[in-house]
Amino acid sequence: MGHSQAAKASTRQRILEIAARRFRERGFSSVGLAEIAREAGITPAAFYRHFASREAILAEAVHEAARSLDTWAASSQDIASAVRNYLSVAHRDTPGSGCPLVALVHDAARADDVTRDAYTAEVKRMLDFLEGLLAAQGHANARAMAVLQLSASVGAMGLARAADDPTLSRDLLDQVADGLVRLGTPQP
């Protein structure tokens, strides 16, 4: 790869990382391409050398944002650590680097088909990961429990981020985590 191709690839990656962070922080409709371009150090016109349109970056930004799930998965040896890592104050307080499933759930529901497909692929990937953890722990109905675990975790995180009462926010995280760990741990 020549220097100009390497520079172009580096700029494209920087744009994706910025877009993924900003979209998770504020949603698809609240972030303009000019803002992303400015933060990436390029002109808005130069943005179109890397992406054909706003829609073109959305789906790729969902996948880029989902790379945060790889870090989460690597630190989750079992369902208890997965739930506690996800439903943490640190995750609640850093939406720009956290799970795109919770940050973008409402945006993805109203997005174009390509972006919804990208979001759906990441939901499936997370379900597969949770199902694998639960199956490894001998859970009888690992897929159904993975669906419950994911749905409750995304819902609790969304509520905890939205609540302006710090005690309520923390209770949402802690109480849901405790319940999900109990449900996800097979009884002898």
User: How many whole angstroms separate alpha carbon 173 and alpha carbon 120?
Assistant: 24
Judgement on whether residues 116 and 175 belong to the same structural domain of the protein: yes
Range of the domain at 122: 66-184
- Residue-wise pLDDT for 152-168, tens only, equals 999 999 999 999 999 99
Which CATH number do you get for residue 25? Answer: 1.10.10.60
Torsion of CA 175, 180, 183, 185, to 10 degrees: -110
45 contacts: CB under 8 Å, gap ≥ 6 = none
Which CATH number do you get for residue 143? Answer: 1.10.357.10
How many domains does the structure of the chain reveal? Answer: 2
Judgement on whether residues 24 and 108 belong to the same structural domain of the protein: no
Return the structure tokens found at 34. 């000019």
- Residue-wise pLDDT for 33-45, tens only, equals 999 999 999 998 8
